Chains A and B, each alone.
Chain A
Amino acid sequence: MEIKLIGMGGIGAALVPFLARYFQHSRSLKARLTLVDGDAFEPGNRARQEFARFGNKAVVKAEELARAFPAVSVRALAQFVAPDNIAAMVREGDTVLLAVDNYATRRLVSKHCEGLDSVTLISGGNELTDGNVQVYLRRNGVDASRPLTYLHPEIEHPTDLLPTDEGCERLIATAAPQLLFTNLAVAAAMLGALYAIIEQGEAPYDELYLDLPSGRQLPVRR
């Protein structure tokens, strides 16, 4: 199973140790994980993220996972997803876990997946105390669920930028506080969706909403 985890921030870094442990101890499933992120772990990330050392997030986390889970093949791509590299990053048959911090990358990845015959795309995002997970499946050239852009104009027409297009001033201006627990809740929901797809062969929902203060979750099919 070829899994691409794009984004090693609050959600991705929370998700990936459990993902690797699951495959390390699975008797029937073998996975190759590719971690993708062009960003570096820095002091400001420590409130929500754990990395063994400073450095590129994908590289550092891949080193950690390779040591802890030797049965799982882990690779790192120290790059942001961009229009000129996505075709090499996301390929036929891939399972993509998308945990990025901007709508522009979600659009780019979703549009690319629309052109593939078979792909599984699970995208998670959050605000301070609430979040959502979207599941987009294509099987044999047909949509088995809707792309991330469906009914989501903020993704179809993003006002934010790809990380490769961002300047530092904009990055700082758009930085918003996040909560570790919300990252964790979204990460768990993404893994739950992956498990359901592995076991059932289909998505458990098109979109899942969750909200920490109220303790609510709502799966939606459209």
Chain B
Amino acid sequence: MTQEPVGAAPAPGTSVAVTYGVYQLQLDLAGRSVAAVRASLAGALNIDPRSLAVVNGQPVDGESVVLRPGDRIEFVRLAGQKGGGPVSKEIPREANPPAPSRCERPPNRAPHAAPPPF
């Protein structure tokens, strides 16, 4: 687990733990609302506006919730979307052309067939 204080250490009793993706910070945020924390950190941490806020392990219902000293807030980073798709639409010419890809199917081809029994 990483833990990186940013700037001056927060005053005792006002610290809130903030997590977003790989970043985990202790910041002087007690007394601020979830919405205010999101707004103030959105640029620095590049927080996606779609990410849910979770306070002390519970999703918050509305972001007017005010943080208290010792609270833990996480803005849940969106899952990585990719992992396998095409890298580019630019396909170089090949001496031996590849097998048809999914974008070269006849339009009336069945997309999939029933798998064999396991």
Q: With CB as the reference atom, state the residue of chain B lying closest to A131.
A: B80
28 A–B contacts from the bound complex (CB under 8 Å): A12-B83, A34-B118, A39-B84, A47-B88, A55-B99, A79-B113, A80-B102, A82-B112, A88-B117, A123-B79, A126-B82, A126-B83, A127-B82, A132-B21, A151-B52, A151-B54, A164-B112, A171-B86, A171-B103, A175-B89, A177-B87, A177-B88, A178-B87, A186-B80, A186-B83, A209-B21, A216-B23, A218-B23
Q: Are A155 and B115 in contact (CB under 8 A)?
A: no
Cα–Cα, bound, A153→B91 (Å):
34
- Please give the number of chain B residues whose Cβ is less than 8 angstroms from any Cβ of chain A in the complex: 47
CB-CB under 8 A for A85 and B21, given A151-B59, A175-B86: no
Q: With CB as the reference atom, state the residue of chain B lying closest to A34.
A: B118
Q: Which residues in B have their C-beta under 8 angstroms from that of A147?
A: none
Binding site for A on B (CB under 8 A): 1-2, 19, 21-24, 50, 52, 54, 57, 59, 74, 76-92, 94, 96-103, 111-118
Residue in B23, B80, B90, B94 whose beta carbon sits within 8 Å of that of A132 in the complex: B80
Q: Are B54 and A80 in contact (CB under 8 A)?
A: no
Apart from A56-B99, A214-B22, what are 16 other A-B pairs with CB-CB below 8 Å? A10-B84, A12-B84, A40-B99, A42-B98, A44-B91, A48-B87, A54-B98, A82-B112, A85-B112, A99-B84, A152-B78, A152-B79, A175-B86, A209-B21, A211-B21, A222-B57
State the main secondary structure of chain A at its contact with B: mixed
Q: Are A220 and B19 in contact (CB under 8 A)?
A: yes
Q: Are B89 and A163 in contact (CB under 8 A)?
A: no
Q: Are B54 and A210 in contact (CB under 8 A)?
A: no
Cα–Cα, bound, A70→B23 (Å):
43
Contacting B at CB under 8 A, from A75-119, are 77, 79-80, 82, 84-85, 88-89, 91, 99-103, 106
Cα–Cα, bound, A144→B101 (Å):
38
Q: With CB as the reference atom, state the residue of chain B lying closest to A151.
A: B76
Residue in A44, A153, A178 whose beta carbon sits within 8 Å of that of B52 in the complex: A153
Q: Which residues in A have their C-beta under 8 angstroms from that of B101?
A: 39-40, 42
Q: Which residues in A have their C-beta under 8 angstroms from that of B103?
A: 168, 171-172
Q: Are B52 and A103 in contact (CB under 8 A)?
A: no
A26 part of interface (Cβ distance < 8 Å): no
Contacting B at CB under 8 A, from A145-176, are 148, 151-155, 160, 163-166, 168, 171-172, 174-176
> What's the minimum C-beta distance from B105 to chain A, rounded to whole angstroms?
9
